[in-house]
Amino acid sequence: MATALTWLGHASFRLDSPGGKRIYVDPFLSGNPRTPESEKTPERCDLIVVTHGHGDHVGDTIAIHNELGCPVVAQVELRGWLTRNGVADDGQAHSPNKGGTVAVEGVKVTLTDANHSSSAPDGSYAGEPCGVVLELEDGFKLYFSGDTNVFGDMSLIGRIYSPDVAVLPIGDHYTMGPQEAAVALELLGVPRCVPSHYGTFPLLTGTPDELRRLAPEVEVLAPEPGETIEL
């Protein structure tokens, strides 16, 4: 089974792994103007991964967990906030910090640095923002940078984890735009990129075409919201 990635609009993704696991990353669905109606209520979920505490990333995590009982992996302080707000206590098993890895049903989740801000939807402290490297059952690796600007240590992420695909924000204003994303791709050394965090709101002006112009050596895969691509 191939790895299938579905963009759900903004920074939200559904990943179907080679082992049949369905993973949601930053499931901002019900309030997301780019999420198709058919994708707003997940029918199944084996794992949720959250990069940081902002409402457009935590999104529907608590509701999906309560409905489907899936594990939730997030940075330790954010995971604590989620526990206090309705996600089942994990006994710290799904509460790593940067550099830490947890395994859930054959899928490895490693938190990396991200250069951004983070607070919970109620304004309380939610730890630091993170990126995520997902290593799937067959060894295929995806790097979700989360909301970030470019930073030099992305070269270490490339060196240590060698991701096959990078999912990077390009919208500008709240995250890096295409110019910084192109440099991020150079630092990471990845052959393929899926852009995110663009087009949701008028302030997010970056486009995949601009990234393609600035990073011509990288294959930029830009599905429409609700569209699935095989990786």
pLDDT in tens, 131-152: 999 999 999 999 999 999 999 9
Give, to the nearest 10 degrees, the angle between helix 154-161 and helix 178-188.
40
Q: Is the pLDDT of residue 1 over 80?
A: no
Return the amino acid letter for 33.
Answer: P
Q: Tell me the average pLDDT of the chain.
A: 97
Q: What is the pLDDT of residue 105?
A: 87
* pLDDT, tens only, 92-130: 999 999 999 999 989 999 999 999 999 999 999 999 999
- The pTM of the full predicted model, rounded to 2 decimals, is 0.98
Rounded (5°) CA angle 181-118-166? 30
Q: What is the pLDDT of residue 2?
A: 87
* pLDDT, tens only, 51-90: 999 999 999 999 999 999 999 999 999 999 999 999 999 8
Q: What is the pLDDT of residue 70?
A: 97
CB within 8 A of 21, min separation 6: which ones? 46, 47, 105, 106, 107, 136, 137
* pLDDT, tens only, 31-45: 999 999 999 999 999
Indicate the fold that domain 4-222 takes in CATH. Metallo-beta-lactamase; Chain A (3.60.15)
